[in-house]
Structure 1
Amino acid sequence: MALTFGKLCAIAAFTVGSVAAKSSCVSVRSDGEPAGEFKNVSGIQVYHSYPVASNYTSSSTAILYISDIFGVPLLENKLLADSIASANYPVIMPDLFRGDAVPAEFAEKGLNLTEWLTRHPTSDIDSIIASTLEYMHSELGVERVGAVGYCFGGKYVPRFMAHGKGIDVGFIAHPSRLEVAEIQAIRGPISIAAGELDASFNATARRNAEDILSRKNATYQTSLYSGAPHGFAVRVNASIPREKFAKEASFVQAVTWFDAWLL
């Protein structure tokens, strides 16, 4: 695999068994205008991003994007969804917070995150994700669902990888509030990207997750990125080489994981 900043070429001839990689060269976008569109789905604004191939019509596989607390308004989230779509996967990202995402400059505004979390309990997020999965299956014709979860969303990918919950293959980066029972319930391949400087998913949490997955004989992958803070897979200081690398390499980690296990 050749890795360069701005454009990461994943495997020209990558196979797992008899399954060839779907994406030979992918790039992660960090600036510019979003390419997707919003649609109202049962009262929820849902961002849709599609592969750019001129002959693309529909797909039996798609990616559910479960965002961080900054949600669909954050430019980086939309561009990351577009980047995944450029690897030939339709991407669906619902507004988990019904217009109440945390603003990117929340620290300057003095937002109380504890109070904000009470407005968005797990049951509400579960309901939105479940309805989005139903939409993907019934309206979009998706048969197998991969999912990415970042920070806040890193808790919900494992929750919906439990038996019969709807996610077949998962990737999570720097998850927050992820519980042991949620890891234990995972069914299907899971890839985890962790940051060395992330207090929310620290060395103890990483070790516990690996131990649980190993005991389950799960198909899993964990990657640890040096110098990477919480949030590195979405928002980084691009002037710091280790942070920039961590974002781009974790993107390739996700795409190659889906190429191997979602097809």
Structure 2
Amino acid sequence: MAPNLIKACLFGLASGSCVLAKPTTAGCPGLTVSHEGTPAGTFKNISGIQIYHTHPPRSAKPGKINTAILYVTDIFGAADLQNKLLADSIARANYAVIMPDLFSGNPVPANALSDPTFNFPAWLARHPVSESDNAIATTIAYMRNELGVQKIGAAGYCWGGKYVPRFLAAGQGIDVGFIAHPSNLATDEIMGIKGPISIAAGDLDDAFNATSRRTAEDILFSKNTTYQTSLYAGAPHGFGTRVDLSNTRQKFAKEAAFLQAVTWFDAWL
């Protein structure tokens, strides 16, 4: 996307001329977020992992050749409607998007947060770091070796916000990263980041609170990393993928974080 178009879209967010949620957005082609609808992509079994593939529409302008986005999901997984719709939204911004199932068909159920009987510690025990590491490493190898992708951007949400930094370390396969409201992101994982990283945070997120944000920024600054952080008012944990659409602050935060991710990839991939 041309820099003047990016500036026009950013200005439009404030002026009201570029509203992300509408199906067509004059002056901002492709920069729309789907909150509902039918997913456009398909799943393929790659080395025993179900991987969702979604591509730019045929009417879109040509994207960057041999460039794609690895979408690393939250705990609700690749089969979740909101994750598929957000992956499709990124695809409409002229990126092929590849989203693996990190949990071997056993993500957290969509209603788990409102179900007091759901045993989250037991679920966590069944899904160690090594499981997601393996799914992501397999997907990166597939993107490089079979799809011919030369530059990989990665978008990680919640659970995925821990793993994008892990694979943004030197030699791990990701070139550019974006994360929103990361969970369990460790100091050594931030220290290991080598490529450009953009972080979307919410001021109501206890999982990535003010102390965590400051720690991440201090580390990235000390390492002279290319980074960006954006803080959204009234945004709870999970705002990058699922929000109360009747809440203006939350709706804006989700849509603005999407724009943050796309413009970051446009600049650095």
TM-score between the two structures when normalised by the length of structure 1:
0.91
Distance in 2 (alpha carbons) for counterparts of 1:9 and 1:206: 35
Identical-residue share of aligned pairs (%): 62
1:58, distance to aligned residue in structure 2 (A)? 9.0
> Does the Cα contact within 8 Å between 1:59 and 1:90 map onto a contact in 2?
no
Of 116-125 and 102-111, the range deviating more from structure 2: 102-111
1:51 aligns with 2:56: yes
Match of 1:244 among 251, 255, 260: 251
Look up the match of 1:196: 203
TM-score between the two structures when normalised by the length of structure 2:
0.89
Look up the match of 2:99: 93
Letter in 2 for 1:96: L
Distance in 1 (alpha carbons) for counterparts of 2:195 and 2:22: 29
Distance in 1 (alpha carbons) for counterparts of 2:197 and 2:25: 19
1:80 aligns with 2:86: yes
Look up the match of 1:32: 37
Look up the match of 1:17: none
Distance in 1 (alpha carbons) for counterparts of 2:266 and 2:26: 11
> Does the Cα contact within 8 Å between 1:191 and 1:257 map onto a contact in 2?
yes
1:132 aligns with 2:147: no
> Does the Cα contact within 8 Å between 2:25 and 2:32 map onto a contact in 1?
no
1:5, distance to aligned residue in structure 2 (A)? 4.7
SS for the counterpart of 1:226 is: strand
Of 23-32 and 188-197, the range deviating more from structure 2: 23-32
1:186, distance to aligned residue in structure 2 (A)? 0.1
Letter in 1 for 2:90: I
Residues 9 and 215 of structure 1: CA distance in aligned 2, closer, same or farther (over 3 Å): farther
Residues 131 and 73 of structure 1: CA distance in aligned 2, closer, same or farther (over 3 Å): same
Look up the match of 1:18: none
1:53, distance to aligned residue in structure 2 (A)? 2.5
Matches within 5 A, 1:87-166: 87-106=93-112, 107-108=114-115, 110-166=117-173
> Does the Cα contact within 8 Å between 1:94 and 1:132 map onto a contact in 2?
yes
> Does the Cα contact within 8 Å between 2:63 and 2:95 map onto a contact in 1?
no
Distance in 2 (alpha carbons) for counterparts of 1:241 and 1:54: 31
> Does the Cα contact within 8 Å between 2:202 and 2:239 map onto a contact in 1?
yes
Match of 1:62 among 64, 68, 75: 68
Distance in 1 (alpha carbons) for counterparts of 2:115 and 2:244: 18
**Any runs of at least 4 consecutive aligned residues in structure 1 with deviations exceeding 3 A, and if so which?**
7-12, 54-59
Distance in 1 (alpha carbons) for counterparts of 2:24 and 2:189: 33
Look up the match of 1:232: 239
1:115, distance to aligned residue in structure 2 (A)? 1.2
Look up the match of 1:6: 21
> Does the Cα contact within 8 Å between 1:36 and 1:50 map onto a contact in 2?
yes
| Higher helix proportion (structure 1 or 2) | 2
Residues 182 and 42 of structure 1: CA distance in aligned 2, closer, same or farther (over 3 Å): same
Uncovered stretches (5+) of structure 1, i.e. residues with no partner: 13-22
Distance in 2 (alpha carbons) for counterparts of 1:225 and 1:8: 24
> Does the Cα contact within 8 Å between 2:198 and 2:227 map onto a contact in 1?
yes
Distance in 1 (alpha carbons) for counterparts of 2:38 and 2:51: 17
Distance in 2 (alpha carbons) for counterparts of 1:259 and 1:10: 18
1:177, distance to aligned residue in structure 2 (A)? 0.3
Distance in 2 (alpha carbons) for counterparts of 1:246 and 1:142: 30
1:24, distance to aligned residue in structure 2 (A)? 5.1
SS for the counterpart of 1:104 is: coil
SS for the counterpart of 2:130 is: helix
> Does the Cα contact within 8 Å between 1:195 and 1:230 map onto a contact in 2?
yes
Look up the match of 1:42: 47
